[in-house]
């Protein structure tokens, strides 16, 4: 976007504000990813190796993206403090944004495509159609990154500003294609899963299974809706604000991690359904992201330190109830206290 120094100084919220908001949102997303990751790895032994590898890959990319964003923010707010021109000069960490986003989104989408493929009895047509969208998104994102490295970002000299109006930035059809493919794919995958669950409800008479299907439906909405809405908003803001401000970059920055969070919500929610209902709350919902652990605390309480066994001395309560304490150490069991930590 062609910018003048006077316009940049007069409207810092339009150009520097989006980076500050993006850093804050990405920091929150990173905390959610850490929380969900800990919940997943507590019971990851039940997952396949390919799923554990997928989770490891997208988590590493998410942490890498956050590190690069903080590096870019440090350059603007610390090293380039007071330098208006440096604040709008995109460095390599900013220019690879499209590639890092697709590296987080594509694996998650392929995982969901695999689930849809199994629901359609491994239909080859469904697999090819959905994978084509993923491939188009991947290729277009790489092309956008190459084009971004070739573009020049800076401030227009005052002489050119006085000579006439600043030229408008053309909308990149390749970038719009990458975001559109992502949004369309999210809608298709979500629709397929919801249609399958809706049809399944018609043949279920048990109230217990109806509750399970209802929880699955809510889980799908929680997992698929945020990245889909963000992808649509990214397209809309890019098309309408590319010549006005940098606020479209905020939606681009947070899109990738929404897919990672979506993957964790799906996997942790599935594991929670397999474990059955538990008292308390769980962390597999976007609306409930408190820190918790599913591992009970075990406390072994020896009652006789001298003999290493169990004391035969009864308390007054034991005498009143007429129940003797067992004297054989092999029959004694340590007391176990289990509770959910929050």
pLDDT in tens, 125-183: 888 989 999 999 999 999 999 988 887 766 666 555 555 566 677 788 998 998 889 88
Cα 119 to Cα 123: distance, rounded to the nearest angstrom: 9
Alpha helices in 120-247 (DSSP H): 124-150, 158-163, 173-202, 207-241
pLDDT at site 142: 93
| Position 336 pLDDT exceeds 50 | no
- Lowest-confidence pick of 102-111, 152-161, 186-195, 292-301: 292-301
- Look up residue 185 and give its two tokens: 């794919």
Supply the pLDDT for residue 317.
42
Q: How far apart are CA 286 and CA 261, in angstroms?
A: 8
Q: What is the mean pLDDT of the chain?
A: 76
Interhelix angle 248-275/207-241, rounded to 10 degrees, is 170
Q: Which residues touch 103 (CB under 8 Å, ≥6 apart)? A: 58, 61, 256
Q: Which percentage of the chain shows pLDDT scores above 90?
A: 26
CB 291 within 8 A of CB 35: yes
- 80 or 329: which carries more pLDDT confidence? 80
Residue 88: the pLDDT is: 75
Report whether pLDDT(332) > 50.
Answer: no
- At 7 the pLDDT is 64
pLDDT at residue number 40? 93
Of the spans 84-93, 274-283, 293-302, which averages the highest pLDDT? 84-93
CA distance 14 to 327: 78
The DSSP 8-state label assigned to residue 75 in this structure reads I
Confidence of residue 213 (pLDDT cuts 50, 70, 90): confident
Q: Among the residues of 203-247, which ranges form H helices?
A: 207-241
In this prediction, residue 134 carries a pLDDT of: 93
Alpha-carbon span 330 to 78, nearest angstrom = 66
Write out the two tokens for 157.
Answer: 């000299």
Look at 41 and 325; give whichever has higher pLDDT. Answer: 41
Task: Go through the chain and tell me how many residues it has.
Answer: 342
Return the higher-pLDDT residue of 290 and 265: 265
Residue 335: the pLDDT is 43
Instruction: Report residue 60 as tokens.
Output: 């590493």
Q: How confident is the model at residue 35 (pLDDT cuts 50, 70, 90)?
A: very high
């Amino acid at each position: 976007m062609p910018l003048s120094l006077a316009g940049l100084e007069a409207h810092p919220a339009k150009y520097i504000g989006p980076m500050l908001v993006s850093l804050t949102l990405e920091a929150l997303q990173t905390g959610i990813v850490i929380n969900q990751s800990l919940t997943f790895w507590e019971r990851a032994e039940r997952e396949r190796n390919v799923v554990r590898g997928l989770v490891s890959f997208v988590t590493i990319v998410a942490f890498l993206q956050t590190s690069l964003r903080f590096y870019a923010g440090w350059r603007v707010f610390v090293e380039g403090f007071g330098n208006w021109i440096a604040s709008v000069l995109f460095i390599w960490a900013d220019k690879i944004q499209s590639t890092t986003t697709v590296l987080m989104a594509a694996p998650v989408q392929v995982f969901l495509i695999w689930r849809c493929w199994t629901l359609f009895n491994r239909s080859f047509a469904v697999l090819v159609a959905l994978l084509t969208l993923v491939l188009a998104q991947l290729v277009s994102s790489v092309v956008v990154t190459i084009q971004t490295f070739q573009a020049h970002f800076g401030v227009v000299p005052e002489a050119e500003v006085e000579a006439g109006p600043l030229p408008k930035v053309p909308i990149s059809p390749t970038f719009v294609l990458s975001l559109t493919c992502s949004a369309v794919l999210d809608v298709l995958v979500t629709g397929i899963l919801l249609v399958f669950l809706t049809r399944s409800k018609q043949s279920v008479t048990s109230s217990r299974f109806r509750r399970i299907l209802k929880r699955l439906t809510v889980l799908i909405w929680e997992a698929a809706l945020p990245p889909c809405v963000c992808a649509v908003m990214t397209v809309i803001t890019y098309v309408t604000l590319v010549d006005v401000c940098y606020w479209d970059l905020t939606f681009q920055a947070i899109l990738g991690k929404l897919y990672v969070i979506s993957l964790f919500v799906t996997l942790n929610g599935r594991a929670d359904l397999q474990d059955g209902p538990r008292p308390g709350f769980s962390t597999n919902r976007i609306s409930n992201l408190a820190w918790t652990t599913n591992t009970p605390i075990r406390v072994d309480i020896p009652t006789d330190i001298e003999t290493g066994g169990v004391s035969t001395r009864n308390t007054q309560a034991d005498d009143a109830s007429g129940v003797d304490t067992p004297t054989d150490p092999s029959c004694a069991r340590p007391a176990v206290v289990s509770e959910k930590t929050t």
